[in-house]
Amino acid sequence: MKIVYICDKLITFILNEIIELIKMGHDVYILPVRDDFWVTHSIIRPILTQNGLLDKTFSRVRNYRNRKQKLVHLTYTVLYDFIRRPVVTLKALFYMLQIYPTLGDGTEAYLDIRPFFYEQIDVLHAPFSTPQILDKLYLFAKSLDLPYTLSFRAHDIYEGNVLEELKKRMNILREASQLITISEYNKNYLKSNLNLHRDIELIHGAVNIDFFTGNGEMRSPNSIIAVCRLAEQKGLLYLLKACHILHMRGVDYDCTIIGEGDQKKECQKFVEQLHIPNICFINFLTQPEIIKYLESATAFVMPCVISADGKRDILANALKEAMAMRIPVITSRICGIEELVDDELNGILVPPGNPEAVADAIIKLFSNPDLRETMGEEGRKKISKDFNIKTEGKKFESIFKKILNNNASNLNHDQST
Protein backbone atom coordinates (compact mmCIF):
# COMPACT_ATOMS: atom_id res chain seq x y z
CA MET A 1 0.00 0.00 0.00
CA LYS A 2 1.00 3.61 -0.61
CA ILE A 3 -0.09 5.76 2.32
CA VAL A 4 0.27 9.52 2.78
CA TYR A 5 0.42 10.90 6.34
CA ILE A 6 -0.71 14.54 6.42
CA CYS A 7 0.40 16.05 9.71
CA ASP A 8 1.21 19.23 11.57
CA LYS A 9 3.47 17.71 14.25
CA LEU A 10 5.94 15.15 13.00
CA ILE A 11 6.93 13.85 16.43
CA THR A 12 8.34 10.56 17.59
CA PHE A 13 5.14 8.69 18.39
CA ILE A 14 3.78 9.52 14.93
CA LEU A 15 7.02 8.26 13.43
CA ASN A 16 6.56 5.06 15.46
CA GLU A 17 3.39 4.36 13.48
CA ILE A 18 4.97 5.23 10.16
CA ILE A 19 8.08 3.12 10.76
CA GLU A 20 5.98 0.14 11.83
CA LEU A 21 3.92 0.38 8.62
CA ILE A 22 7.16 0.48 6.64
CA LYS A 23 8.37 -2.65 8.44
CA MET A 24 5.15 -4.34 7.32
CA GLY A 25 6.08 -3.59 3.72
CA HIS A 26 4.04 -0.45 3.04
CA ASP A 27 5.21 2.69 1.29
CA VAL A 28 4.60 5.78 3.42
CA TYR A 29 4.91 9.43 2.39
CA ILE A 30 4.76 12.40 4.75
CA LEU A 31 3.14 15.73 3.87
CA PRO A 32 3.56 18.40 6.57
CA VAL A 33 0.59 20.74 6.65
CA ARG A 34 2.86 23.77 6.82
CA ASP A 35 6.56 24.61 7.24
CA ASP A 36 6.97 22.03 9.99
CA PHE A 37 10.16 22.68 11.97
CA TRP A 38 10.04 19.07 13.16
CA VAL A 39 11.12 17.94 9.68
CA THR A 40 14.50 19.65 10.13
CA HIS A 41 14.76 19.16 13.90
CA SER A 42 18.05 17.65 15.04
CA ILE A 43 16.18 14.79 16.76
CA ILE A 44 13.66 14.01 14.01
CA ARG A 45 15.81 14.36 10.90
CA PRO A 46 18.15 11.43 11.77
CA ILE A 47 15.10 9.19 12.31
CA LEU A 48 13.76 10.19 8.88
CA THR A 49 17.15 9.46 7.34
CA GLN A 50 17.63 6.10 9.07
CA ASN A 51 14.24 4.88 7.87
CA GLY A 52 14.44 6.11 4.27
CA LEU A 53 11.81 8.78 4.87
CA LEU A 54 13.76 11.94 4.11
CA ASP A 55 13.09 11.70 0.37
CA LYS A 56 9.45 10.87 1.07
CA THR A 57 8.81 13.92 3.25
CA PHE A 58 7.42 16.77 1.19
CA SER A 59 8.29 19.90 3.15
CA ARG A 60 7.50 23.29 1.62
CA VAL A 61 10.50 25.10 0.11
CA ARG A 62 8.80 27.84 -1.91
CA ASN A 63 9.88 31.45 -1.63
CA TYR A 64 8.42 34.33 -3.63
CA ARG A 65 9.75 37.86 -3.99
CA ASN A 66 6.24 39.26 -4.37
CA ARG A 67 2.61 38.39 -5.07
CA LYS A 68 3.06 38.70 -8.83
CA GLN A 69 5.80 36.08 -8.87
CA LYS A 70 3.61 33.75 -6.83
CA LEU A 71 0.69 34.21 -9.27
CA VAL A 72 2.94 33.55 -12.28
CA HIS A 73 4.29 30.40 -10.65
CA LEU A 74 0.79 29.13 -9.93
CA THR A 75 -0.39 29.87 -13.48
CA TYR A 76 2.46 27.98 -15.13
CA THR A 77 2.11 25.11 -12.68
CA VAL A 78 -1.63 24.77 -13.28
CA LEU A 79 -1.14 24.84 -17.07
CA TYR A 80 1.52 22.15 -16.82
CA ASP A 81 -0.71 19.99 -14.60
CA PHE A 82 -3.72 20.54 -16.86
CA ILE A 83 -1.83 19.25 -19.91
CA ARG A 84 -0.71 16.13 -18.06
CA ARG A 85 -3.65 15.46 -15.70
CA PRO A 86 -6.58 17.60 -16.87
CA VAL A 87 -9.37 15.95 -14.84
CA VAL A 88 -7.39 15.91 -11.59
CA THR A 89 -6.29 19.52 -12.10
CA LEU A 90 -9.82 20.79 -12.71
CA LYS A 91 -11.14 18.91 -9.68
CA ALA A 92 -8.34 20.27 -7.50
CA LEU A 93 -9.07 23.84 -8.59
CA PHE A 94 -12.80 23.37 -8.08
CA TYR A 95 -12.43 22.04 -4.53
CA MET A 96 -9.68 24.55 -3.73
CA LEU A 97 -12.17 27.36 -4.38
CA GLN A 98 -14.84 25.53 -2.37
CA ILE A 99 -12.68 24.83 0.68
CA TYR A 100 -10.41 27.86 1.03
CA PRO A 101 -11.80 31.36 1.70
CA THR A 102 -8.65 33.05 0.38
CA LEU A 103 -6.83 32.39 -2.87
CA GLY A 104 -3.50 32.59 -1.06
CA ASP A 105 -4.22 29.69 1.29
CA GLY A 106 -5.81 27.70 -1.51
CA THR A 107 -2.80 28.26 -3.76
CA GLU A 108 -0.40 26.94 -1.14
CA ALA A 109 -2.60 23.90 -0.51
CA TYR A 110 -2.80 23.15 -4.24
CA LEU A 111 0.97 23.41 -4.62
CA ASP A 112 1.49 21.20 -1.57
CA ILE A 113 -0.59 18.30 -2.88
CA ARG A 114 0.29 18.48 -6.58
CA PRO A 115 3.46 16.29 -6.37
CA PHE A 116 1.07 13.45 -5.56
CA PHE A 117 -0.90 13.98 -8.79
CA TYR A 118 1.73 11.74 -10.34
CA GLU A 119 1.85 9.04 -7.63
CA GLN A 120 -0.51 6.09 -7.26
CA ILE A 121 -1.67 6.67 -3.68
CA ASP A 122 -4.00 4.21 -1.94
CA VAL A 123 -5.12 5.98 1.22
CA LEU A 124 -4.62 9.24 3.15
CA HIS A 125 -4.28 9.44 6.91
CA ALA A 126 -4.30 12.37 9.34
CA PRO A 127 -2.54 11.41 12.61
CA PHE A 128 -3.87 14.70 14.03
CA SER A 129 -7.16 16.09 12.71
CA THR A 130 -6.89 19.84 13.17
CA PRO A 131 -9.06 22.08 10.97
CA GLN A 132 -6.04 23.05 8.88
CA ILE A 133 -5.16 19.41 8.27
CA LEU A 134 -8.78 18.50 7.46
CA ASP A 135 -8.96 21.20 4.80
CA LYS A 136 -5.81 20.08 3.03
CA LEU A 137 -6.65 16.39 3.36
CA TYR A 138 -10.15 16.94 1.93
CA LEU A 139 -8.73 18.85 -1.04
CA PHE A 140 -6.26 15.99 -1.59
CA ALA A 141 -8.92 13.28 -1.25
CA LYS A 142 -11.47 14.95 -3.54
CA SER A 143 -8.91 15.80 -6.21
CA LEU A 144 -7.70 12.21 -6.53
CA ASP A 145 -10.81 10.30 -5.37
CA LEU A 146 -8.94 8.80 -2.41
CA PRO A 147 -10.27 7.32 0.83
CA TYR A 148 -9.03 8.82 4.07
CA THR A 149 -8.90 8.14 7.79
CA LEU A 150 -8.79 10.63 10.67
CA SER A 151 -7.13 10.25 14.07
CA PHE A 152 -7.94 12.48 17.03
CA ARG A 153 -5.48 12.85 19.92
CA ALA A 154 -5.33 16.00 22.06
CA HIS A 155 -4.62 19.46 20.60
CA ASP A 156 -6.88 18.63 17.65
CA ILE A 157 -9.87 18.25 20.02
CA TYR A 158 -9.39 20.36 23.13
CA GLU A 159 -7.29 23.41 22.32
CA GLY A 160 -8.91 26.82 22.02
CA ASN A 161 -11.98 26.93 19.74
CA VAL A 162 -10.95 23.86 17.72
CA LEU A 163 -14.20 22.03 18.56
CA GLU A 164 -16.27 24.77 16.92
CA GLU A 165 -14.05 24.61 13.85
CA LEU A 166 -14.52 20.85 13.67
CA LYS A 167 -18.29 21.33 13.75
CA LYS A 168 -17.98 23.45 10.60
CA ARG A 169 -16.30 20.50 8.90
CA MET A 170 -18.72 17.72 9.84
CA ASN A 171 -18.99 16.72 6.18
CA ILE A 172 -15.30 15.83 6.22
CA LEU A 173 -15.75 13.71 9.35
CA ARG A 174 -18.83 12.00 7.91
CA GLU A 175 -17.10 11.14 4.63
CA ALA A 176 -14.02 9.65 6.35
CA SER A 177 -13.61 5.92 5.78
CA GLN A 178 -12.73 5.54 9.45
CA LEU A 179 -12.47 7.75 12.53
CA ILE A 180 -9.78 6.77 15.03
CA THR A 181 -8.79 7.99 18.47
CA ILE A 182 -6.29 7.05 21.17
CA SER A 183 -8.50 6.64 24.25
CA GLU A 184 -12.00 5.85 25.43
CA TYR A 185 -11.99 9.30 27.07
CA ASN A 186 -11.56 10.88 23.62
CA LYS A 187 -14.13 8.59 22.04
CA ASN A 188 -16.79 9.59 24.54
CA TYR A 189 -15.91 13.28 24.20
CA LEU A 190 -16.10 13.20 20.40
CA LYS A 191 -19.41 11.35 20.30
CA SER A 192 -21.09 13.61 22.83
CA ASN A 193 -19.72 16.95 21.63
CA LEU A 194 -19.89 16.36 17.89
CA ASN A 195 -23.04 14.24 17.98
CA LEU A 196 -21.30 11.51 16.01
CA HIS A 197 -23.38 8.42 15.30
CA ARG A 198 -20.72 6.22 13.79
CA ASP A 199 -17.98 3.86 14.84
CA ILE A 200 -14.76 5.32 16.22
CA GLU A 201 -11.89 2.85 16.29
CA LEU A 202 -9.57 2.83 19.32
CA ILE A 203 -5.85 2.65 18.45
CA HIS A 204 -3.49 3.70 21.22
CA GLY A 205 -0.46 5.88 20.76
CA ALA A 206 2.20 3.22 21.17
CA VAL A 207 5.80 2.53 22.10
CA ASN A 208 8.53 0.41 20.55
CA ILE A 209 9.09 -1.92 23.51
CA ASP A 210 12.21 -3.39 21.89
CA PHE A 211 13.81 0.06 22.10
CA PHE A 212 12.54 1.11 25.53
CA THR A 213 13.53 -1.80 27.78
CA GLY A 214 15.39 -1.06 31.01
CA ASN A 215 16.09 -3.62 33.72
CA GLY A 216 16.31 -1.39 36.78
CA GLU A 217 19.89 -2.41 37.63
CA MET A 218 21.25 1.15 37.39
CA ARG A 219 18.45 2.82 39.36
CA SER A 220 19.28 5.60 41.78
CA PRO A 221 17.29 5.49 45.06
CA ASN A 222 16.25 9.16 44.84
CA SER A 223 16.21 10.35 41.24
CA ILE A 224 13.18 12.12 39.74
CA ILE A 225 12.85 12.60 36.00
CA ALA A 226 10.40 14.29 33.63
CA VAL A 227 10.70 14.26 29.84
CA CYS A 228 8.28 16.52 27.98
CA ARG A 229 7.62 19.85 26.35
CA LEU A 230 7.75 22.53 29.01
CA ALA A 231 4.13 23.62 28.70
CA GLU A 232 1.41 24.47 31.21
CA GLN A 233 -0.56 21.22 30.76
CA LYS A 234 2.46 19.13 31.79
CA GLY A 235 2.13 20.47 35.35
CA LEU A 236 5.86 20.97 35.85
CA LEU A 237 5.37 23.88 38.25
CA TYR A 238 3.63 21.41 40.58
CA LEU A 239 6.60 19.06 40.28
CA LEU A 240 8.92 21.93 41.22
CA LYS A 241 6.67 22.85 44.15
CA ALA A 242 6.79 19.20 45.22
CA CYS A 243 10.59 19.31 45.08
CA HIS A 244 10.52 22.42 47.27
CA ILE A 245 8.35 20.48 49.75
CA LEU A 246 10.84 17.59 49.67
CA HIS A 247 13.66 20.02 50.39
CA MET A 248 11.77 21.59 53.30
CA ARG A 249 11.13 18.10 54.71
CA GLY A 250 14.81 17.23 54.46
CA VAL A 251 14.34 14.55 51.77
CA ASP A 252 17.39 13.91 49.60
CA TYR A 253 16.56 13.98 45.88
CA ASP A 254 17.70 15.10 42.46
CA CYS A 255 15.31 16.14 39.69
CA THR A 256 16.07 16.20 35.97
CA ILE A 257 13.68 17.86 33.51
CA ILE A 258 14.44 17.16 29.85
CA GLY A 259 12.75 19.26 27.18
CA GLU A 260 12.08 22.70 25.81
CA GLY A 261 9.01 24.88 25.62
CA ASP A 262 7.24 28.14 26.39
CA GLN A 263 7.22 27.56 30.15
CA LYS A 264 10.93 26.88 30.53
CA LYS A 265 11.92 30.40 31.62
CA GLU A 266 9.02 30.52 34.06
CA CYS A 267 10.11 27.22 35.59
CA GLN A 268 13.73 28.32 35.87
CA LYS A 269 12.69 31.62 37.46
CA PHE A 270 10.50 29.74 39.94
CA VAL A 271 13.45 27.56 40.97
CA GLU A 272 15.67 30.62 41.44
CA GLN A 273 13.08 32.52 43.48
CA LEU A 274 12.47 29.66 45.93
CA HIS A 275 16.11 28.50 45.88
CA ILE A 276 15.03 24.93 45.09
CA PRO A 277 18.17 22.79 44.99
CA ASN A 278 19.11 19.82 42.80
CA ILE A 279 17.00 20.77 39.78
CA CYS A 280 18.62 20.22 36.38
CA PHE A 281 17.08 21.48 33.13
CA ILE A 282 18.30 19.81 29.93
CA ASN A 283 17.28 20.65 26.37
CA PHE A 284 15.72 18.10 24.01
CA LEU A 285 17.85 14.98 23.58
CA THR A 286 17.81 12.11 21.12
CA GLN A 287 15.95 8.99 22.23
CA PRO A 288 19.16 7.00 22.95
CA GLU A 289 20.37 9.88 25.13
CA ILE A 290 17.04 10.05 26.97
CA ILE A 291 17.20 6.32 27.67
CA LYS A 292 20.46 6.78 29.55
CA TYR A 293 18.70 9.16 31.94
CA LEU A 294 15.65 6.93 32.23
CA GLU A 295 17.81 3.93 33.16
CA SER A 296 18.91 5.61 36.37
CA ALA A 297 15.61 7.21 37.41
CA THR A 298 13.68 6.21 40.53
CA ALA A 299 10.39 7.81 39.48
CA PHE A 300 8.98 9.49 36.39
CA VAL A 301 6.81 12.44 37.47
CA MET A 302 4.47 14.45 35.25
CA PRO A 303 1.56 15.94 37.28
CA CYS A 304 -0.56 16.99 34.30
CA VAL A 305 -3.29 19.63 34.45
CA ILE A 306 -5.79 21.14 32.04
CA SER A 307 -4.38 24.50 30.97
CA ALA A 308 -6.34 27.75 30.87
CA ASP A 309 -7.00 27.42 27.12
CA GLY A 310 -8.12 23.79 27.38
CA LYS A 311 -4.87 22.10 26.39
CA ARG A 312 -4.39 18.71 28.01
CA ASP A 313 -2.45 15.50 27.65
CA ILE A 314 -4.29 12.31 26.75
CA LEU A 315 -2.32 9.25 27.88
CA ALA A 316 1.01 11.02 27.36
CA ASN A 317 3.56 9.04 25.38
CA ALA A 318 6.38 9.99 27.75
CA LEU A 319 4.57 8.10 30.53
CA LYS A 320 4.36 5.02 28.29
CA GLU A 321 8.06 5.15 27.50
CA ALA A 322 8.90 5.38 31.21
CA MET A 323 6.59 2.47 32.01
CA ALA A 324 8.17 0.41 29.22
CA MET A 325 11.51 1.16 30.93
CA ARG A 326 10.11 -0.31 34.19
CA ILE A 327 9.98 3.08 35.94
CA PRO A 328 7.03 3.73 38.29
CA VAL A 329 5.18 6.86 37.21
CA ILE A 330 3.42 9.60 39.17
CA THR A 331 0.79 11.60 37.29
CA SER A 332 -2.58 13.27 37.76
CA ARG A 333 -5.95 11.57 37.81
CA ILE A 334 -7.46 13.43 34.84
CA CYS A 335 -8.48 12.88 31.21
CA GLY A 336 -8.97 9.13 31.37
CA ILE A 337 -5.45 8.44 32.64
CA GLU A 338 -6.81 5.30 34.35
CA GLU A 339 -6.77 3.69 30.89
CA LEU A 340 -2.97 3.78 31.14
CA VAL A 341 -1.97 3.98 34.79
CA ASP A 342 -3.54 1.60 37.31
CA ASP A 343 -3.24 3.43 40.63
CA GLU A 344 -0.94 1.66 43.12
CA LEU A 345 -0.28 -1.15 40.61
CA ASN A 346 2.03 0.35 37.95
CA GLY A 347 2.10 3.94 39.18
CA ILE A 348 0.54 6.48 41.50
CA LEU A 349 -2.27 8.85 40.59
CA VAL A 350 -2.62 12.15 42.43
CA PRO A 351 -5.20 14.95 42.33
CA PRO A 352 -4.29 17.59 39.71
CA GLY A 353 -2.70 20.78 41.03
CA ASN A 354 -1.69 19.21 44.35
CA PRO A 355 2.09 19.42 44.98
CA GLU A 356 1.71 17.96 48.51
CA ALA A 357 0.24 14.78 47.02
CA VAL A 358 3.05 14.67 44.44
CA ALA A 359 5.67 14.99 47.21
CA ASP A 360 3.98 12.27 49.26
CA ALA A 361 3.94 9.94 46.25
CA ILE A 362 7.64 10.56 45.56
CA ILE A 363 8.54 9.83 49.19
CA LYS A 364 6.47 6.63 49.04
CA LEU A 365 8.48 5.40 46.07
CA PHE A 366 11.81 6.55 47.49
CA SER A 367 11.21 4.61 50.71
CA ASN A 368 9.87 1.39 49.15
CA PRO A 369 12.34 -0.28 46.76
CA ASP A 370 10.23 -3.44 46.53
CA LEU A 371 7.17 -1.37 45.58
CA ARG A 372 9.21 0.44 42.92
CA GLU A 373 10.34 -2.85 41.42
CA THR A 374 6.83 -4.31 41.41
CA MET A 375 5.30 -1.18 39.89
CA GLY A 376 8.05 -1.09 37.27
CA GLU A 377 7.40 -4.66 36.18
CA GLU A 378 3.64 -4.11 36.10
CA GLY A 379 4.13 -0.97 34.03
CA ARG A 380 6.20 -2.92 31.50
CA LYS A 381 3.45 -5.57 31.27
CA LYS A 382 0.81 -2.91 30.68
CA ILE A 383 2.72 -1.29 27.83
CA SER A 384 3.60 -4.64 26.25
CA LYS A 385 -0.04 -5.68 26.27
CA ASP A 386 -1.98 -2.52 25.40
CA PHE A 387 0.43 0.13 24.07
CA ASN A 388 2.83 -1.90 21.94
CA ILE A 389 3.56 -0.43 18.50
CA LYS A 390 3.60 -3.89 16.94
CA THR A 391 -0.02 -4.64 17.87
CA GLU A 392 -1.29 -1.08 17.36
CA GLY A 393 0.48 -0.84 14.00
CA LYS A 394 -1.34 -3.98 12.84
CA LYS A 395 -4.63 -2.27 13.70
CA PHE A 396 -3.78 0.57 11.31
CA GLU A 397 -2.82 -1.91 8.61
CA SER A 398 -6.06 -3.82 9.12
CA ILE A 399 -8.13 -0.64 8.74
CA PHE A 400 -6.29 0.46 5.59
CA LYS A 401 -6.62 -3.01 4.00
CA LYS A 402 -10.31 -3.14 4.81
CA ILE A 403 -10.86 0.24 3.16
CA LEU A 404 -9.04 -0.83 0.00
CA ASN A 405 -10.91 -4.13 -0.15
CA ASN A 406 -14.25 -2.33 0.25
CA ASN A 407 -13.33 0.13 -2.49
CA ALA A 408 -12.29 -2.71 -4.80
CA SER A 409 -15.58 -4.53 -4.14
CA ASN A 410 -17.59 -1.39 -4.82
CA LEU A 411 -15.68 -0.80 -8.05
CA ASN A 412 -16.26 -4.36 -9.23
CA HIS A 413 -19.95 -4.05 -8.36
CA ASP A 414 -20.27 -0.79 -10.31
CA GLN A 415 -18.56 -2.32 -13.34
CA SER A 416 -20.77 -5.42 -13.26
CA THR A 417 -23.94 -3.33 -13.17
With a CB cutoff of 8 Å and minimum separation 6, the contacts of 161 are: none
CATH fold of 2-206+389-416 reads Rossmann fold (3.40.50)
Instruction: Give the pLDDT confidence score for residue 72 in this predicted structure.
Output: 85
- Per-residue model confidence (pLDDT) at position 413: 47
How many Cβ atoms from other residues are within 10 Å of residue 69's Cβ? 11
Select from 3.20.20.210, 2.120.10.90, 3.10.20.30, 3.40.50.2000 the CATH code of 223-386: 3.40.50.2000
What is the predicted pLDDT for the residue at 11?
85
* pLDDT in the model for residue 8: 85
pTM surpassing 0.85?
yes
Same fold, 2-206+389-416 and 223-386: yes
- CA distances 155 to 10, 48, 186, 279, 402, Å, are 14, 24, 11, 29, 28
Spans of all domains in the chain: 2-206+389-416, 223-386
pLDDT tens-digit map of 36-90: 666 777 788 888 889 999 889 886 656 777 878 878 888 899 999 999 999 999 9
Question: Residue-wise pLDDT tens for the chain (417 aa)?
Answer: 999 999 988 888 999 999 999 999 999 999 987 666 667 777 888 888 899 998 898 866 567 778 788 788 888 999 999 999 999 999 999 999 999 998 888 888 999 999 999 889 999 999 999 999 999 999 999 999 999 999 999 999 999 899 999 999 999 999 999 999 999 999 999 999 998 889 999 999 999 999 999 876 678 899 999 999 999 999 999 999 999 999 999 999 999 999 999 999 999 999 999 999 999 999 989 889 999 999 999 999 999 999 999 999 999 999 999 999 999 999 999 999 999 999 999 999 999 999 999 999 999 999 999 999 999 999 999 999 999 999 999 999 999 999 999 877 665 545 555
CA torsion 130→164→303→180, rounded to 10°? -50
- SS3 labels along the chain: CEEEEEECCCCHHHHHHHHHHHHCCCEEEEEECCCCHHHHCCCHHHHHHHCCCHHHECCCCCCCCCHHHHHHHHHHHHHHHHHHCHHHHHHHHHHHHHHCCCHHHHHHHHHHHHHHHHCCCCEEEECCCCHHHHHHHHHHHHHHCCCEEEEECCHHHHCCCHHHHHHCCHHHHHHCCEEEECCHHHHHHHHHHHCCCCCEEECCCCECCCCCCCCCCCCCCCEEEEECCCCHHHCHHHHHHHHHHHHHCCCCCEEEEECCCCCHHHHHHHHHHHCCCCEEEECCCCHHHHHHHHCCCCEEEECCCCCCCCCCCCCCHHHHHHHHCCCCEEEECCCCHHHCCCECCCEEEECCCCHHHHHHHHHHHHCCHHHHHHHHHHHHHHHHHHCEHHHHHHHHHHHHHHHHHHHHHHHHHHHHC
